[in-house]
Chain A
Amino acid sequence: QKEVEQNSGPLSVPEGAIASLNCTYSDRGSQSFFWYRQYSGKSPELIMFIYSNGDKEDGRFTAQLNKASQYVSLLIRDSQPSDSATYLCAVTIFRGGYQKVTFGIGTKLQVIP
């Protein structure tokens, strides 16, 4: 079992719809959770982070964390064609006193105009 699991997609949504991206993780000791957006050939760009159970909203983005079920999701409201990218879920855990960041495979989102 991979430490961080995502559906690779592609996930296609019409412009203006809500895109829902999901991620599960295996280590219950995971502490911090991040969503990165990556355009093809570019470096990952941090868009959201969440540490506590519940929802965190930032503009059109909402991150949701459920530690009991070990999943974290990202909702994108009013999806735009410019949101078309791969979304990487990242989870941090502490091992041997140091932070380790592990990525999922990423979900490719396509927003159809």
Chain B
Amino acid sequence: AAGVIQSPRHLIKEKRETATLKCYPIPRHDTVYWYQQGPGQDPQFLISFYEKMQSDKGSIPDRFSAQQFSDYHSELNMSSLELGDSALYFCASSLQNTEAFFGQGTRLTVV
């Protein structure tokens, strides 16, 4: 069965650079979520989209933005990167009121 696809799997950026993470949800899923997980921490909700519209916003810095495109894939754009942005970034997708399935994640390292 198709799963949530994230790319790239690993990314190394320097401070103040920009990064773009991509997420391709499970076909026919209408909701996409982005989470950030630092070492030893629980996933922190960043932002979600329902049918290509932003549906909820969590602890997402102003330096970050995201959108969902007509083909339902989503991109998380991160600018002016800081060392503290180094984390695992997970994308998940679901149908409304059902379980969320996670992608493999993108490990971002800011040096």
Q: Which residues of A contact B (CB under 8 A)?
A: 31-32, 34, 36, 41-46, 49, 88, 90, 92, 94-96, 98-106
- Does B97 contact A32, Cβ atoms closer than 8 Å? yes
B25 at the A/B interface (Cβ < 8 Å)? no
Chain A at the B interface: mostly helix, strand, loop or mixed? strand
Q: Which residues of B contact A (CB under 8 A)?
A: 31, 33, 35, 41-43, 45, 48, 50, 55-56, 88, 90, 92, 94, 96-105, 107
- The minimal Cβ–Cβ distance linking B69 to chain A, given in whole angstroms, is 19
- Does A98 contact B102, Cβ atoms closer than 8 Å? no
Q: How far is the CA of A43 from the CA of B48 in the complex (A)?
A: 18
> Which residues of the other chain, A, contact B90 by a CB distance below 8 angstroms?
43-44
> Which residues of the other chain, A, contact B94 by a CB distance below 8 angstroms?
99, 101
In the complex where A32-B97, A49-B99 touch, is A105 in contact with B55 (Cβ < 8 A)? no
